[in-house]
Structure 1
Amino acid sequence: MYCKVCFDAGKPEEVFTSHSVKNEFGMVTCVTLLSHNCELCGCIGHTPRYCPAPSRPKMFCAFCRDLGKEHTDHNMWENGLISCWELMNTGCTNCGEMGHTPKYCTADPPKFCPVCRDAGNDYDHDLMENGIVVCEYLLSLECPNCGELGHTRKYCTKPPPKFCPFCKQSGKPYDHDLKEDEVVVCKELLANECTKCGNMGHTPKHCTFPSKKERLQRAKDGEKLGDLLEEAIKNASAPRSKNKGLKKYVRVL
């Protein structure tokens, strides 16, 4: 014989193997089950799974569930009113009233200024009203792009200032363009002699003149001497302070 009720209840082996749940007539004979109170109806002699009473709808509280708490022992609403004590004791961070969250708040949202927040200032005020900036902090800011007050570089409508990276790197005034229509216009760069080829107007980083290693490799690969000389002459025809590019090229060959 075997009694599953006693087995599930953790009774000793000699207990759950000494009898069955029911006798041959279908009547409950297990003492453990006969003394058990049903959690659904409160009567003894059966479990909720076999309860003859009409089943009640399961209770559910979404607010408690989202908090990670038990939410099946009560409903969130009853007859259109909040019945969850957790929610009733919750203060809204938008309006300060109890009984709801900001998601369902009907009050106007609080004032907020992203510029002051990013600057570490008090930001419980509006940034703009009717499309006009009203934030005093932003109105006092000078745009580093155009020098005007009331906006940042990100929202400046003026074209960016001229900028020459070559002069900046050289420690010279760089408030001018480096190129115009892909042509170098910076006087400092135009007067600069490339230490690789001897030509003017560029740096070794942007030099197209083949290096010594490249020239040797191309000669080894069987390129004609005339083609290499033609390329050397072409490079040597550019403005230069010392006409040494061609000499170096021929000397290597």
Structure 2
Amino acid sequence: MAWREKMMRTVALMVALACATLPACGHAQDAGRLITALETLAAKDNAEAIYHLGMAYQTGAGLPRNPAKALEAFRRAAALGDVLAAYKLGCFYAGQGEGLVQDDPGIALQHKLVAAEAGYALAQQDVAALYAARGDLPAATDWLEKAMRQGWPDALATYAAIYNGAEGIPPDPVKTAAYFRILLDRTEATQDQRDWLSNFEQRMTAEQRRQASEIVRSYRPAPTALTMKALSGQRAAAELVSRHGSAASRPR
């Protein structure tokens, strides 16, 4: 399978993560208080609060679902410097616009690059796919490796796959075996996956297996603070409100 097809297939599997949401609160009253606090901060041009409101509008968690208001919030937050809002804005131009904007891979790349350069693993994965679609394999591989170093599962899967015969990428059985092994060790692997890897490793030389084992042994995923924040959902919003509440209550 061509590199571009491998990348786009992986991105398709990540659509749900690409729309990582502000989860619904366990109690509507708590959700209402959080939204009210975010709206107060947003009125003061707090970019992160505006981003969280955009997520609430996009998902219907705490606010009535309204993609148009979500888009407006992401635009405003991105203009104020919120990198996760820039990522979400890029998603609108990458096929998730729900008719509000026209798909435009160039604009999608422009906005997602902001978050990728700031260290968001999912944005790095997406940017890799966008560069692959342009035929820029060196840039695509570089961004994919950045996401893989953070332990992003689909980046690990794609990184292993492209070194097993993807068009334009020299085969490297050591990388395929090592990073597929790392993936399987960190996910709920199927027996078919484990059997495939076992058969693949049997075709490798002893030295290749040694090199792969060394990569596996030394691999340490290093997710950035931004990636962890993006995955924390509502907790990040609550922490933002808490920080500002504590600051407001300090004696002057």
TM-score by length of 2: 0.19
TM-score by length of 1: 0.19
Higher relative CO (CA 8 A, sep ≥ 6), structure 1 or 2? Answer: 2
Task: Name the structure with the higher strand share.
Answer: 1
Task: Name the structure with the higher helix share.
Answer: 2
